Amino acid sequence: MTAAKPPSRSGPRSGGRGRPSKAKGLDLKETILDAAEGLFARHGFYGVTTRQVAAEAGVDTALIHYYFGAKRELFDAVFLRRAEILNQAREASMDAYLRAHAGAMTVEGVIEAFIDPLLRISQDGGAGWKSYFALVAQVNNTPAWGGETMTRFFDPVVHRLVETLKTVRPQAEYRDLYWCYQFLTGSMMLALSETGRIDSLSEGECHSSDLEAVRARLFAYCAAGFEAVIARAG
């Protein structure tokens, strides 16, 4: 209509169309996932159009469908890409804790082994991981399909947490452990999504990007909460 849009693209890709080697093809797929991740994290699934993703990635709209199919499949690909890495990191962290403190596990230690890998990845993993955590937090609070999605991707490691806690406190009831996990995950997800609310609320005293401050408090907070609930019930 107006003017043919120039074939500009941010990356170091050559100007023309066509097949630019397999390596570049994979790279382009990742570029699309990165763009989609950031936009979905900020505006949610319905708040983003495939055209926006294409523009952000510097790519033709049709290419998104070529690689990923429907929009929802793109979203799932974004969600899946880091979920496995996350689960592996958490499993490894819990493995390490179990091996190191097999005889003398504490509630706080188990909880730290469960949460800390996420904080660490968010701190060291770059902007992509930050977006991803915001995305997960949003999904976690999505009534329509969020619960099902979270269940599908993250249930196993949660069950392992609950079972380990049951080992540490055998007299605790599963009901209490599951409710406490629910409280824990709400706190953790809100902290990881870094919404900036605490910044304005505390008038500059706290910053949601300060995950070191979270680390210094969240483990103790949750552990004490667990202990209190268990004690009250028993």
Give the residues lining the site for DNA (CB under 7 A): 4-5, 7, 9, 14-22, 24-25, 28, 48-52, 59-63, 65-66, 69-72
221 binds, among a second copy, DNA, none (CB under 5 to 8 A by kind): a second copy
101 binds, among a second copy, DNA, none (CB under 5 to 8 A by kind): none
Two tokens at 83? 């979920």
Which residues 5-34 are close enough to bind a second copy by CB under 8 A? none
In whole angstroms, how close is the CB of 156 to a second copy at the nearest point? 11
Q: For residue 232, state whether it binds a second copy (rule: CB under 8 A).
A: yes
Q: For residue 66, state whether it binds a second copy (rule: CB under 8 A).
A: no
DSSP secondary structure letters along 141-209: T-TTTHHHHHHHHHHHHHHHHHHHHHHHSTTS-HHHHHHHHHHHHHHHHHHHHT-SHHHHHTTTS--TT
CB-CB neighbours of 223 under 10 Å: 19
Instruction: Give the nearer residue to DNA in terms of CB position, either 23 or 104.
Output: 23
For residue 15, give the amino acid letter.
G
d(CA 228, CA 212): 25
24 binds, among a second copy, DNA, none (CB under 5 to 8 A by kind): DNA
